[in-house]
């Protein structure tokens, strides 16, 4: 390969989600389910046992009119690296069924190895991991529309957002055939990013200064990837999970909702930049 040796630095794929732009339409959830063959139940009203790799939360500032404000917060898997190099979920899996890929920063789930102990779900504070309580049942004829690039999961195992890793594999295959080892920014994008009509989701390599995601988040890798942009924050930053999904909002109450603070704590001081 011509470019071999040029690209030594590991990639770290991540997202910046602009919460001021998100309208809560749910297109990201739908796109994700279709792309990744996410199973669904006949009755999806109980959200405690239904699967949504990408889930949109509705946040409110708790104030009444005219100060009432809401915010929609899409939550994929955070693909945590951990401040000390251990993702909360990867380190606890007893059967090495979930793995942290140091080339891409993506946390994977090995469906054929997971035996369903659910310890990873217990370890994930974002509730990004889902258990297959039932075998997937697809409505008649709809199996033809399943993606051939993503294996459907069986009952009794855990699944979660993979940052559409199959898209990364396809893009890398294409690049390999073309004699490249480096992907262009637009060659690998997740389905939720592409489906968002408001363009609220930006996806790319956080380690690559040319990628928009890097420019928005300005991650400080010397300090656990903390965002350099004052309007950018991560969920539960204080726990040290070192997630790769960043959120952006100009509203302070939204940024404050991203983490827990003691009543008398100075948010501006505690919020790390």
Partner 1 sequence: MDSALIPEGVNRCSFGKFAIGIIIVGGVLLWGVYAMLLIWLKGLNQTNMNDYYGFALWIWADLGVIALGGGAFFTGLLRYIIGKDELKNIINYAVLIGFICYSSALLILAIDIGQPLRGWFIFWHANVHSMLTEVAFCLSCYFAVLTIEYIPLILENRQIDKVPFFHNLAHNMHEVMAIFAATGAFLSFFHQGSLGGVAGVLYSRPFAFREGIFIWPWTFFLFTWSAAAYGPCFTLFVTRLTEKISGKKLVKQNVIDLLAKISGWTMGTYLIAKIIDTWYWATVSAPSMGFNLIDFYSNNSFYGIWILVAEIVICGIIPASILLTPKGRSNSTLLFTAVSLACIGVLLNRWVMVLQVMAIPVMTFENWVLYIPSWQEVATTILPVAYGIILIMISFRYLPIFPQERELNP
260 in contact with partner 1 (CB under 8 A) = yes
Span of 23-31, 167-175, 184-192, 251-259 interacting with partner 1 by CB under 8 A: 251-259
Q: How far is the CB of 95 from partner 1 (least distance, A)?
A: 4
Enter the DSSP assignment of 139: P
88 in contact with partner 1 (CB under 8 A) = yes
246 in contact with partner 1 (CB under 8 A) = no
Give the Cβ contact number of residue 52 at 10 Å. Answer: 20
Dihedral Cα 273, 19, 55, 58, nearest 10 deg: 110
94 in contact with partner 1 (CB under 8 A) = yes
How far, CA to CA in Å, does 144 sit from each of 111, 122, 141, 148, 170? Answer: 22, 35, 6, 9, 21
Q: Which is nearer to partner 1, 213 or 254 (CB)?
A: 254
Spatial strand order in the sheet of 232-233 = 201-205, 13-18, 245-248, 232-233
**Contact letters for partner 1, residues 149-178 (x by CB under 8 A):** -----xxxxx--------------------
CA distance 46 to 191: 25
135 in contact with partner 1 (CB under 8 A) = yes
Name the one residue in this structure whose structure tokens are 């559409």: 164
Q: Which is nearer to partner 1, 92 or 170 (CB)?
A: 92
Q: Which is nearer to partner 1, 168 or 233 (CB)?
A: 233
Q: Which is nearer to partner 1, 56 or 171 (CB)?
A: 56
C-alpha angle 226-231-233 in degrees, rounded to nearest 5: 40
Q: Please select the residue that binds partner 1; options are 30, 59, 146, 198, rule is CB under 8 A.
A: 59
How far, CA to CA in Å, does 145 sit from each of 19, 58, 116, 148? Answer: 31, 30, 27, 9
235 in contact with partner 1 (CB under 8 A) = yes
Query: Which alpha helices (DSSP H) does 153-227 contain, by range?
Result: 165-177, 191-195, 212-217
114 in contact with partner 1 (CB under 8 A) = yes
Q: Please select the residue that binds partner 1; options are 49, 184, 210, 220, rule is CB under 8 A.
A: 49
CA distance 225 to 229: 12
97 in contact with partner 1 (CB under 8 A) = yes
56 in contact with partner 1 (CB under 8 A) = no
Q: Please select the residue that binds partner 1; options are 134, 185, 194, 198, rule is CB under 8 A.
A: 134
SS3 164: coil
SS3 238: helix
Q: Which is nearer to partner 1, 115 or 145 (CB)?
A: 115
Dihedral Cα 185, 106, 137, 93, nearest 10 deg: 180
| Pairing assessment for the beta strands 13-18 and 245-248 based on DSSP bridges | parallel
Q: Please select the residue that binds partner 1; options are 19, 29, 73, 245, rule is CB under 8 A.
A: 73
145 in contact with partner 1 (CB under 8 A) = no
91 in contact with partner 1 (CB under 8 A) = yes
Q: Please select the residue that binds partner 1; options are 133, 221, 223, 273, rule is CB under 8 A.
A: 133
Q: Which is nearer to partner 1, 40 or 134 (CB)?
A: 134
239 in contact with partner 1 (CB under 8 A) = yes
Name the region of 86 (left: φ>0; alpha: ψ -120 to 50; beta: rest): beta
């Amino acid at each position: 390969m011509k470019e071999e040796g040029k690209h030594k630095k590991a990639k770290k794929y991540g997202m910046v989600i602009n919460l001021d732009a998100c309208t809560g339409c749910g297109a990201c959830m739908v796109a994700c389910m279709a792309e990744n063959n996410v199973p669904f139940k006949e009755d999806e009203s109980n959200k405690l046992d239904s699967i949504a790799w990408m889930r949109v939360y509705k946040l409110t500032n708790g104030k009444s009119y005219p100060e009432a404000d809401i915010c929609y917060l899409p939550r994929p898997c955070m693909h945590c690296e951990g401040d000390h190099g251990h993702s909360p979920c990867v380190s606890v899996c007893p059967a090495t069924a979930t793995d942290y890929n140091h080339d891409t920063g993506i946390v994977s789930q090995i469906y054929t190895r997971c035996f369903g102990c659910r310890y990873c779900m217990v370890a994930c504070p974002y509730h990004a991991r889902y258990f297959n309580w039932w075998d997937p049942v697809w409505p008649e004829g709809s199996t033809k529309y399943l993606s051939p690039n993503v294996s459907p999961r069986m009952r009794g195992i855990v699944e979660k957002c993979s940052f559409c890793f199959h898209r990364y594999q396809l893009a890398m295959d294409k690049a390999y055939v073309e004699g490249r080892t480096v992907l262009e920014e637009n060659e690998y994008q997740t389905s939720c990013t592409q489906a968002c009509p408001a363009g609220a989701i930006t996806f790319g390599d956080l380690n690559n200064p040319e990628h928009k995601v890097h420019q928005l988040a300005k991650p400080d890798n010397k300090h656990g990837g903390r965002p350099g942009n004052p309007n950018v924050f991560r969920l539960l930053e204080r726990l040290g999970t070192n997630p790769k999904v960043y959120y952006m909002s100009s509203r302070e109450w939204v940024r404050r909702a991203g983490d827990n603070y003691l009543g008398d704590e100075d948010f501006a001081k505690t919020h790390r930049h």
